């Protein structure tokens, strides 16, 4: 297995950013340059704009880190076409890497918990990558999906990207998503994004603080999660949430808290309710983690009528028709809207 050895030093980028317009592949060129959609608020509230990351080819912002990590590793001479790329994904990164591997002539193996959304995992095999479904077990079990990814990379001489520790994850957002956002929204006062690996919020926050240190950066966590407790310096507790892609059981190396002003926790019910409201009332179809971020944005807009808030919508709601948009699924889990 090729050891990436991507350290904290990666925070000092060897170039400022890169742009979607510079991507020559016609399919991969659709990654990035996503729309900023005005979200209706009352005249007494601040303004909210939704960064529509669901416009990326496989429907999520994870297309950015898949393309960005592969591109930067190529530039640094770590990987080359024909290599085997291995990744563990509990969600959208699976599809993003499968697409990039397909277009850039890499072999790819994705390990994922078997209970993952079938819509998300469907991208993997459809795009020619190998899917290894793993039981939903704790991290100390040898069958754990991240442990399995490391084992496969070692046995098959592959490169394990490991988005959960790889500093290129937030670096891509610092060099790409962040500059793109401030170009679109130069007068923003707040940036809000859901946190899973933390790479999106961390990278954008780093760029934003360099752009204008007065901008408030807020990560969003699930209530039954440990990102907010780690941010506050508290001891880890239980991690349990029905919101895919939100929260983690521990602080990860890809969480750059020094650039983040606050991490707020949102209940699963409020996350789902806000996502459904965005679709039903405003025609903006987003996932539950984006619903959580939008919930926090509404709180801030209500408190500060002069606020200019950018919300990162990590993925689209079409991947959740059988979960958060399914009344029976919600009722079975005790949610009443």
What percent of the chain lies above the pLDDT cut of 70? 93
Query: What integer best gives the mean pLDDT of the chain?
Result: 92
Look at residue 154 in the predicted model and tell me its pLDDT: 97
| CA 245 to the chain's CA centroid | 7
Instruction: Please state whether beta strands 216-222 and 190-194 pair in parallel, antiparallel, or not at all (unpaired).
Output: parallel
Residue 310, pLDDT > 90, answer yes
Look at residue 136 in the predicted model and tell me its pLDDT: 87
Look at residue 249 in the predicted model and tell me its pLDDT: 76
User: Looking at residues 31-37, what average pLDDT do you find?
Assistant: 97
Tell me how far apart the alpha carbons of residues 190 and 213 are, in angstroms, rounded to a whole number.
Answer: 11
Bridge partners of residue 39, in order along the sequence: 48
Helix intervals (H) in the chain: 62-75, 93-104, 118-126, 145-155, 168-172, 178-184, 199-211, 227-231, 268-282, 288-303, 327-332
pLDDT in tens, 140-186: 899 999 999 999 999 999 999 999 999 999 999 999 999 999 999 99
**Of 195 and 250, more confident:** 195
Residue 13, pLDDT > 60, answer no
User: Looking at residues 290-314, what average pLDDT do you find?
Assistant: 98
Look at residue 237 in the predicted model and tell me its pLDDT: 63
Look at residue 90 in the predicted model and tell me its pLDDT: 81
Look at residue 4 in the predicted model and tell me its pLDDT: 65
Residue 9, pLDDT > 90, answer no
User: Looking at residues 13-18, what average pLDDT do you find?
Assistant: 53
DSSP 3-state assignment of 119? Answer: helix
pTM for the model = 0.93
Residue 8, pLDDT > 60, answer no
DSSP code for 176? I
pLDDT in tens, 74-99: 999 999 999 999 999 988 999 999 99
Look at residue 41 in the predicted model and tell me its pLDDT: 95
Look at residue 173 in the predicted model and tell me its pLDDT: 97
Bridge partners of residue 110, in order along the sequence: 87, 131
Look at residue 22 in the predicted model and tell me its pLDDT: 79
HEC readout, 41-75: CCCCCCEEEEEEHHHCCCCECHHHHHHHHHHHHHH
**Of 93 and 22, more confident:** 93
| Residue 230 banded pLDDT, cuts 50, 70, 90 | confident
């Amino acid at each position: 297995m090729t050891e990436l050895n991507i350290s904290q030093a990666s925070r000092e980028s060897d170039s400022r950013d890169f742009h979607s317009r510079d991507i020559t592949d016609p399919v991969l060129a659709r990654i990035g340059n996503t729309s900023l959609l005005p979200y209706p608020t009352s005249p007494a509230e601040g303004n909210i704009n939704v960064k529509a990351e669901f416009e990326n080819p496989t429907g999520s912002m994870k297309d950015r880190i898949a393309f960005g990590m592969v591109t930067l590793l190529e530039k640094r001479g770590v990987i080359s076409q024909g290599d085997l790329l291995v990744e563990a994904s509990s969600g959208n990164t699976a599809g993003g890497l499968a697409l990039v591997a397909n277009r850039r002539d890499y072999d790819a193996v994705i390990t994922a918990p078997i209970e993952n959304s079938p819509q998300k995992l469907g991208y993997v095999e459809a795009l020619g990558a190998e899917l290894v479904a793993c039981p939903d077990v704790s991290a100390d079990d040898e069958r754990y999906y991240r442990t399995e990814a490391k084992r496969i990379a070692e046995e098959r001489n592959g490169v394990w990207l490991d988005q959960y520790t790889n500093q290129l994850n937030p670096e891509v957002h610092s060099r790409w998503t962040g500059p793109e956002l401030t170009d679109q929204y130069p007068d923003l006062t707040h940036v809000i994004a859901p946190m899973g690996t933390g790479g999106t919020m961390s990278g954008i926050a780093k760029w934003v603080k360099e752009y204008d240190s007065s901008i408030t950066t807020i990560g969003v966590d699930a209530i039954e999660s440990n990102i907010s407790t780690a941010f506050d310096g508290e001891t880890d507790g239980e991690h349990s949430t029905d919101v895919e892609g939100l929260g983690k059981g521990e602080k990860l190396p890809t969480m750059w808290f020094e650039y983040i002003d606050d991490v707020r926790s949102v209940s699963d019910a409020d996350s789902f309710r806000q996502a459904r409201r965005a679709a039903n009332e405003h025609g903006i179809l987003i996932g539950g983690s984006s619903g959580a971020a939008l919930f926090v944005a509404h709180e801030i807009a209500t408190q500060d009528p002069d606020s200019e808030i950018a919300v990162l919508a990590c993925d689209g709601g079409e991947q959740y028709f059988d979960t958060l948009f399914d009344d029976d699924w919600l009722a079975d889990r005790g949610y009443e809207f």
